[in-house]
Amino acid sequence: MELIVIGLNHKTAPIEIRERLAFPEEGLERALLQVQALPSLRENMIVSTCNRVEIYGTARNVDQAAHEMKQFLSRFHGLPLKDFENHLYLLTSEDAVKHIFRVASSLDSMVVGEPQILGQIKSAYQTAVEIKTSGVILHRLLHRAFHVAKRVRAETMIGNSPVSVSSVAVELGKKIFETLEQKTVLLIGAGEMCELAAQHLMAGGAEKILVTNRTYERAISLASQFKGEAVLFEEIEAGLKKVDIVISATDSLQYLLHHDQIAKVMKDRKQRPIFFIDIADPRDIDPKVGNIENVYLYNIDDLQKVANDNIKDRGKEARKAESLVQEEVVRFVTWYRSLEVTPTITALREKFEEIRKRELEKTLSLHPDLSEKERQSLEAMTSAIINKILHSPLTLLKRSNEEATTDLYIDSIRALFGIQDAFEEEKEGLKKNETP
């Protein structure tokens, strides 16, 4: 039994292809059941986000399974295989384990360290559990993946610094004000940019929004969206006295706010700190305003630069995380090998024991006059023969760490002694239950 993952992500496929292959939420259950019905697959789980589409599964014959999964993708989405085949990646066993660990730890994300992916994997797993397409191996694999993701968060600083412009702005606000709660924001301009920035600050905890705009009506309509207040453009200075954060994004060609004007406002504010975010191009606020005490002025380039620096830092932390992932992969693979070996050993022992019992009974029934002591001797002798015969093959199996040789031994033993694949048995049982 091998782990297998087939899929594509933001690195291997353009958005047009990813869109076509994405599984809509309402179609996910149907897709899971269809994959489950593929002859080669035993367990499966589907991850579908805007940056990746992946099917995880376990199969005895990897090549066959891969072929069937590709066909399934093409059939399900009604897209010829040749249109997307070279965007797909196929990973098996150890590589597949490493892949899911990296994905869950957000090392494979477009923005490395972004936290959403873990939740997306969790919900994909949840669905697979509900539909009962995940079994013992995926179960263990996913739980380890969540554990690895947790370790990466705790032991590296990968998710500690914000990497998007809006989250940098929120973080800066917190470095100035400690918290955004009970803070008032003034929006200068009523465009989309202002609206977006305001949404982020509100999500960050900001309490109240004031909006000012040259066209007063638009200020009113945006203000009502946030249950805020509109301020007349001529009364902007009165607004500045009341707020803690100012976001400016008008299309004015000249500076709207000047050094002397803000210096005077600061005096009236009794020097209470104020945070200006100028996201307009060309800029709305004279850069000299930033020199005034207790005034913090950031324009869009400043925010972008902080975000870029943080992205570089994440790269450093990502290297630490990679070695952590590697360590966990080794741990998982060791468990996984033991999982393959144990049922084979049990089955082999059971088979020999069964033969021994049957033959012993035959012999004993031919000699009813044997004493209890003689019967026990025969019992002991036959047991000893079996143990001696099995000793060296079982030792070999248990000691084998190499994946390829373990598989070879397991397959040979099963073929030589006619033992059925334990997993196949289980799957047949499952399928019978599904279609009564």
The interface with another protein within residues 138-167 (CB under 8 A) comprises: 157, 160-161
Which of 337, 354, 347 lies closest to 405, judged by CA?
337
Residue from the set 171, 379, 407, 426 that interacts with another protein by CB under 8 A: 171
Nearer to another protein, 242 or 305 (CB): 305
The interface with another protein within residues 237-296 (CB under 8 A) comprises: 270-273, 290, 293-294, 296
Residue from the set 82, 175, 388, 432 that interacts with another protein by CB under 8 A: 175
Cα 350 from Cα 274, distance rounded (Å): 78
- Determine the residue type at 326: Q
Tokens of 253: 């060609």
The interface with another protein within residues 308-327 (CB under 8 A) comprises: 309-310, 313
Residue tagged active-site, from 14, 15, 25, 50: 50
Catalytic site includes residue 194: no
Alpha carbon of residue 23 to chain centroid:
16
Does 174 participate in binding another protein (rule CB under 8 A)? yes
Residue from the set 305, 367, 398, 431 that interacts with another protein by CB under 8 A: 305
Nearer to another protein, 42 or 183 (CB): 183
Size of site (CB under 8 A) for another protein? 26
The site map against another protein for 103-142 (x = CB under 8 A) is ----------------------------------------
Nearer to another protein, 90 or 176 (CB): 176
CB of 124 to another protein, least distance (A): 31
The H helix count followed by the E strand count for the chain is 16, 10
Contacts of 228 by beta carbon, 8 Å cutoff, 6+ apart: 208, 209, 210, 211, 222
Residue from the set 8, 66, 117, 168 that interacts with another protein by CB under 8 A: 168
Q: Which stretch binds another protein (CB under 8 A): 23-31, 172-180, 208-216, 382-390?
A: 172-180
The interface with another protein within residues 177-216 (CB under 8 A) comprises: 177-178
Helix (H) or strand (E) run with residue 90 in it: strand 89-92
Nearer to another protein, 197 or 230 (CB): 197
Residues 65 and 40: beta-carbon distance below 8 Å: yes
Cα 171 from Cα 201, distance rounded (Å): 10
Q: Which stretch binds another protein (CB under 8 A): 9-17, 19-27, 303-311, 317-325?
A: 303-311
Cα 137 from Cα 140, distance rounded (Å): 5
Residues 185 and 246: beta-carbon distance below 8 Å: yes
Tokens of 144: 């380890």
DSSP state string for 134-193: --HHHHHHHHHHHHHHHHHHHHS-TTSS--SHHHHHHHHHHHHHS--BT-EEEEES-SHH
CB of 39 to another protein, least distance (A): 51
Q: Which residue has the tokens 């990497």?
A: 163
Nearer to another protein, 182 or 412 (CB): 182
Nearer to another protein, 4 or 240 (CB): 240
Residue from the set 176, 202, 300, 430 that interacts with another protein by CB under 8 A: 176
DSSP 40: T
Contacts of 219 by beta carbon, 8 Å cutoff, 6+ apart: 190, 211, 212, 213, 230, 231, 233
CB of 110 to another protein, least distance (A): 22
DSSP 46: E
Q: Which residues are catalytic?
A: 50
Q: Which residues bind another protein (CB under 8 A)?
A: 157, 160-161, 168, 171-172, 174-178, 270-273, 290, 293-294, 296, 298, 302, 305-306, 309-310, 313
